């Protein structure tokens, strides 16, 4: 099949403002991934096209972008999920709410700053167990936060959120998911501090339960649910 990629391009060193550029590719297999098409454009047609990717297998989270109007990972989207027929147009643009550095590359620093602000690390100052092995936890306790361990920090959720589009001070779904992962970990001792950070005006309360984030997550994390659980923990003043 033939696919036209409509890509939102911008090079701040030479363009006044972003523009759409079309690239036509022949002999596309319906099972090709969008990332492969981007590679073909870059390698066969226009070497100046810029985008991030690393693992190409949905693990590193570098290639989040807006594909046909929805945030996803280019390396996880098959062409045949975007349409059928002999000719297809696929529209690709950078994530929204973060500054565009070039073409599909956005400045992730504000995103990571929010991530760091929720203490996304294990806190427990008790001495380690006598036997020198790991701190044990029941399977049920581990299950409690299993879902939110899956986050790869691709920013698809945060940049799908209308609250974040309006206001980049909002910590955003990804940071809250990361906080959830530690808040509900029975071995961690800093839940209270994290809940305090998340209770601020720019924390969880900016979430309006729109569910764009849940739909966008390439790891199928139940994002809005995790945010909801954090809200309840704050409102009730306790983790369960």
Partner 1 sequence: MTALATTVTETLRYRGKVGQWAWVLHRLTGLGVIVFLILHVVDTSWAAFYPSDYEQAIREYQSPLFTIGEFFLVASVVFHALNGLRIVTLDYKPEWWRYQERATLLVFALTLLVLVPTFAVMLDHTVAFYTSDRDIATLDEIVQTQSLFVMGFVVILVVALALSGLYGLVTRSSQGVKLSGGWEATLWTYMRVSGVLILPLVFGHLVLMHILQGVFDIAGVPELEVVGTNAINQSGTAVEFVGARWNALLAGVAVWRIYDGLLLALAAIHGFNGLRYIVNDYARSVWVNRALNWAIFFGVIALIVVGAAALIAGADETAYKLATDMLSSVQ
DSSP, collapsed to helix, strand or coil, labels residue 193 as helix
**Bridge-based pairing state of the strands 19-25 and 2-9:** antiparallel
Selection from 99, 72, 79, 95 nearest residue 25 by Cα: 79
Which of ligand FES, ligand HEM, partner 1, none is residue 215 near (CB under 5 to 8 Å by kind)?
Answer: partner 1
Q: Which residues bind partner 1 (CB under 8 A)?
A: 66, 68-70, 96, 160, 162-163, 165-167, 196, 199-203, 205-206, 208-212, 214-215, 222, 224-229, 231-232, 234-235
Q: Is residue 53 at the binding interface for ligand FES, with CB under 6 A as the rule? A: yes
In the complex, the smallest distance separating the C-beta of residue 131 from partner 1, rounded to whole angstroms, is 36
* Cβ neighbourhood burial of 167 (10 Å; 0-12, 13-18, 19+): middle
Per DSSP, the residues of 138-162 read: -HHHHHHTTGGGG-----TTGGG-H
The dihedral sign for the CA sequence 117, 75, 145, 168: positive
In the complex, the smallest distance separating the C-beta of residue 90 from ligand FES, rounded to whole angstroms, is 16
Q: Is residue 62 at the binding interface for ligand FES, with CB under 6 A as the rule? A: yes
Judged by CB, which is closer to partner 1: 206, or 219? 206
Size of the site for ligand FES (CB under 6 A): 12
In the complex, the smallest distance separating the C-beta of residue 155 from ligand FES, rounded to whole angstroms, is 11
Residue 18 per-residue DSSP state: -
Which residues form the interface with ligand FES (CB under 6 A)? Answer: 53-56, 58-63, 73, 75
């Amino acid at each position: 099949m033939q696919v036209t990629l409509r890509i939102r391009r911008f090079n701040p060193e030479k363009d006044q403002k972003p523009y759409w550029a079309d690239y036509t590719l022949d002999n596309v297999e319906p099972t090709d991934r969008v990332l492969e098409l981007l590679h073909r454009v870059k390698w066969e047609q226009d070497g100046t096209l810029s985008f991030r990717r690393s693992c190409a297998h949905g693990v590193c989270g570098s290639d989040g972008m807006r594909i046909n109007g929805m945030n996803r990972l280019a390396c996880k989207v098959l062409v045949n999920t975007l349409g059928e027929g002999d000719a297809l147009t696929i529209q690709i643009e950078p994530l929204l709410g973060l500054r565009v550095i070039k073409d599909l590359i956005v400045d992730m620093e504000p995103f990571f700053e929010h991530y760091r602000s929720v203490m996304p690390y294990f806190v427990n100052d008790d001495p380690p167990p006598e036997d020198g092995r790991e701190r044990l936890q029941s399977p049920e306790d581990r299950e409690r936060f299993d879902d939110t361990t899956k986050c790869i920090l691709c920013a698809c959720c945060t940049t799908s959120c209308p609250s974040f589009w309006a206001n980049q001070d909002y910590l955003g779904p990804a940071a809250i998911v990361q906080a959830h992962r530690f808040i509900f970990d029975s071995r961690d001792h800093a839940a209270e501090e994290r809940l305090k950070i998340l209770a601020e005006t720019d924390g969880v309360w900016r979430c309006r339960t729109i569910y764009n984030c849940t739909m966008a997550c390439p790891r199928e994390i139940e994002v809005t649910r995790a945010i909801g659980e954090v809200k309840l923990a704050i409102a009730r003043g306790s983790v369960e």
